[in-house]
Every structure is written in C-alpha cells, then in structure tokens.
Amino acid sequence: MKEYEIYADLRVPVNSKIIVRLDGRSFHSFTEKMELEKPYDSNFYRIMVKVCKDLFEEFSPIFIYTFSDEISILLDNVPFNGRIEKINSVMASFASSSFTSNYDGEFAKPVAFDSRIIPINDSDIYDYFKWRQDEAWRNCVNGYGIHFLKSKYSSSQANEKINGLNLSDIHELLFMNGINLNDVETWKKRGIGIYRKNKEVKGFNKKELKEQISYRSYIYVDCNLSIFSKEFFNKLF
C-alpha cells in the first residue's frame, strides 16, 4: 500500500533556504467569537509571539516575522530532509498546539494554522519580507480605518466607504478625526521580528586569573523593527 502515498516523496532541495508561512484558519470569525479587541488585541499578539518563540526554539530558523495571524519562518537548515508533507503538517500543528496551550480560555472549536513552503534565493529574501511588511502596514491602516468608520456608520456602510478609499485617504481621514497613525506603536505598523542577538557575558578566566568577556546569543523579540532594508538581512546571515 506504500505506493499509494504518492506525495510522501515530494521534497524541497535541502541545500537551499526556505520560508514557511503559517496563517491562522478563519481567524476572522475566531477573533470575533473570542471578542478580541479591535483593531489590535495585545493579548492575542503576546500569544502569537510566544508561538514564534516556541517555533524558534524547535526549528532554529534564521528569522521569524509575524503580524496579524500570519508567521513567516526563514530557515537555512531545511528540516525533515526537505519532505514537504512533513514540514507543512508538523509546523502547522506545532503552531496550533502552541497557540492553544498558551491561550487562557475555552475555544468554541479547535484552532488551526495552514502552512505553505516558499523556496527562496538569498537575493529575494529582502523582497519577500518587504512584501509582508508592506502588508502589515496596509493591515494597520485598514484596521484603524474600518474600526473608526464602524464607530460612525453601520457595518455595511463602513465597508462600502473604506472600499472607496486608498491608504493615504484613510490616513488623512483618521488624522482629521484625532487619530494619528504616526503615534501608533511600531509593532502594529511594522510587525514583529524574532531573531538571535548576542549579549555580553562577564566571566572569570581561572587560568589567566582575569575577567573575561564572552558573547552568548539569545532569542530576541524586536517590537521596534525599522522599515526592512537589505542591510538588516545581510546582518542576519
């Protein structure tokens, strides 16, 4: 019967980098049902960051980027010999379990993440994350925009109104009504990055009988990301 497992041998090349992108399934209705704060729920983000840290510890990626209900994981050591079914299913279920175990409260039904694999050349990594960060910004402007319009109009009127506006129109509309997106926290506008950083550790060299400084890496959660640049990624690998 083994020959029926026709997708089991699908692999990505193990000597290349890949990005795995996870996305919460039907999180629009999940967040509605759980009555999460709009447009940003700090506790939801705290849990998404915890999921990212769990993923970081388990799969040792180079970089993880998250905003809204999505997580992009950049890996240079492709796990599971590059087996696509295995990578997608394990990563998605790992994230779902982490999310569930870190959430305080009962769900109406189990949560799930979907997963896709994007093989990527070094030269395209910046473009990929720039694309997602631009999306985080669009998400932020639209999120604040629709939240504001829904406070003034019915849901359908608000949706109709926002569809006729571009990003700078929404920015302007918010500004005229006392909401300055420049003052909004950076993580809402640019997403959150998780990567390794070095910290100084002071020790004592017993042989040479003197103080010694060494460096130890730790997982850093960057809630104050700059707008992505090529240099940012050059420093990561």
Residue type, 44: F
- For residue 205, give the 3-state DSSP assignment: strand
DSSP string over 69-128: TEEEEEESS-SGGGBHHHHHHHHHHHHHHHHHHH--S--SS---EEEEEEEE-HHHHHHH
Of 24 and 191, the one with the shorter C-beta distance to Mg ion is: 24
Partner whose footprint covers residue 28, from Mg ion, ligand GTP, none (CB < 5 to 8 Å by kind)? ligand GTP
Closest CB 163 distance from Mg ion, rounded Å: 20
Cβ within 8 Å of residue 37, ≥6 positions away: 44
Please provide residue 16's backbone torsions phi and psi, each rounded to the nearest 5 degrees. -120, 170
* Spatial separation of the C-alpha atoms in residues 219 and 93, rounded to whole Å: 22
- Can residue 88 be called a binding residue for ligand GTP (CB under 6 A)? no
Choices 32-40, 101-109, 144-152, 163-171; region in contact with ligand GTP by CB under 6 A: 32-40
Token reading at 143: 């999120």
| Integer Cα distance of 182 and 226 in angstroms | 14
Q: Is 27 in the site for ligand GTP (CB under 6 A)?
A: yes
Q: Judged by CB under 6 A, which stretch of 7-15, 36-44, 129-137, 200-208 contacts ligand GTP? A: 36-44
Stretch that binds Mg ion, among 69-77, 127-135, 203-211, 212-220 (CB under 5 A): 69-77
- Closest approach, Cβ 148 to ligand GTP, in A, equals 14
Identify residues 143-182 at the interface with ligand GTP (CB under 6 A): none
**Cβ-based nearer residue to ligand GTP, 40 or 99:** 40
Between residues 23 and 41, which has the closer beta carbon with respect to Mg ion? 23
Q: Which residue is nearest to ligand GTP (CB)?
A: 28
Interacting stretch for ligand GTP, rule CB under 6 A, among 23-31, 126-134, 160-168, 176-184?
23-31
| Structural contact between residues 84 and 9, judged by C-beta atoms closer than 8 angstroms | no
Half-sphere exposure of 102 (CA within 13 A, CB side): 18
41 binds ligand GTP (CB under 6 A): yes
**Which distant-in-sequence residues (6+ apart) come within 8 Å of 54 by Cβ?**
94, 95, 98
Residue from 11, 16, 23, 124 touching ligand GTP (CB under 6 A): that is: 23
Shortest CB 11 distance to ligand GTP, Å:
26
Q: By CB under 6 A, is residue 69 in contact with ligand GTP?
A: yes
Q: Give the pairing of strands 210-222 and 70-75.
A: unpaired
Tokens at residue 16, please?
């290349």
28 touches ligand GTP by CB under 6 A: yes
Applying CB under 5 A, the residues found at the interface with Mg ion are 23-24, 27, 69
